[in-house]
Homo-oligomer: A and B are copies of this chain.
Amino acid sequence: MWAVTVQDSGPSNGATPPVLGWAQVPDPTPGPGEVLIAVTASAVNRADVLQAAGNYAPPPGASQILGLECSGRIAAVGDGVDGWSVGDQCCALLAGGGYAELVAVPVQQLLPVPDGVDLVSAAALPEAACTVWSNLVMAAGLSAGQTLLVHGGGSGIGTMAIQVGKALGAGVAVTAGRAETLTACAELGADLLINHRTDDFVERIADAGGADVILDVMGAKYLSRNISALAVGGRLVVVGMQGGTTGELNIQALMRKQGSVISTALRFRPLTGTGSKQAVVQQVRDRLWPPVAAGTVRPVIDTVLPMTQAGQAHRRLVAGGHFGKMVLQVPTHDGIDDNQRTSEGTDR
């Protein structure tokens, strides 16, 4: 099969971006309890950028190929798989391997394509849906009438979190660094818009009574201010560390808020059991797919690029200014021979 490969990770300080290629690699084989997906599309996550630069190793046993989610059709079924058949459309949460024509995945990580969502767009759903649902609902217990603060409202996670927050009946505040991003967040339902370049989010959210739940991607840089921004009983959920991994925690400040700091990552969850990928995927299917099918919550897609241009998509993510997800579509075989695909594949 063809897959995106990391031709050169670049320096570990990220001074020059990694070079991604498009090359032939061995096909994966579905093991017991797994299916093989003929990938229609994958989507870009920040973890992919870190992994390409050599800063985020896949968990043991996972594919070394980039890509944490995909959509496609089932091409083969391993032993012991019930409920899925060859030819079925699906999307999936992956521990890796989505930037490829084929990927093998445990059946517990499969989701149906929600009604009303096309197969390419479905690639933009699994990571954002599972990340947002597992954190806002399962970890932080966000409920109707509460206030949610979403940092980075224009990201794939952010655009999903705004919609899920509103669907749950919460008030939603967002931060972003561009006026046009905030306007687009408002169109998705955000109630309180905070430009972090000009406004102090702690003051703005305090005026609104504090945040019952904060979904954060900045990590260390925002740790103290996020705790200041919590309402009494508030929960800070950190799912990204764009502002560093280690920060000062004032436990007394947390105690006065009766607060919690929670950090989770889908990729390191066990496959089955309490807090597993299976548990998250099942709740997403049961509780989030209905509002997606109803059009209340929709995948927000910034751009769809051929998978051969994954490097360009990564550079756009790092540069910022995107709104929603970048989808990477596997080139079709029609009219493209392998030589052509090789020549279009190198994406420097």
Contact = CB atoms under 8 A, between A and B. Distances in A.
Nearest to A257: B263
Nearest to A139: B260
Interface stretch (A20-28, A161-169, A245-253): A245-253
A205 interface: no
**Residue of A246, A249, A269 contacting most chain B CB atoms (<10 Å):** A249
A261 B233 contact: no
A258 B252 CA distance: 23
Nearest to A224: B246
Nearest to A275: B233
B245 A248 contact: no
Contacts of A258: 263-265, 268-269, 275
Contact of A246 (B219, B246, B250, B260): B250
Contacts of A250: 245-246
Contacts of A139: 260
Given A258-B268, A275-B258, A246 B245 contact: no
B247 A246 contact: no
B262 A220 contact: no
A13 interface: no
Interface of A: 139, 219-220, 223, 232-233, 238, 241, 245-252, 254-256, 258-265, 268-270, 274-275
Top-7 shortest CB links A-B? A249-B249, A255-B263, A245-B252, A254-B263, A260-B262, A233-B275, A261-B261
27 contacts: A139-B260, A219-B251, A220-B249, A220-B251, A223-B249, A223-B251, A232-B275, A238-B255, A241-B251, A246-B249, A246-B250, A246-B252, A248-B248, A248-B249, A249-B249, A254-B261, A254-B262, A254-B263, A256-B265, A258-B265, A258-B269, A258-B275, A259-B262, A259-B263, A260-B262, A261-B261, A261-B262
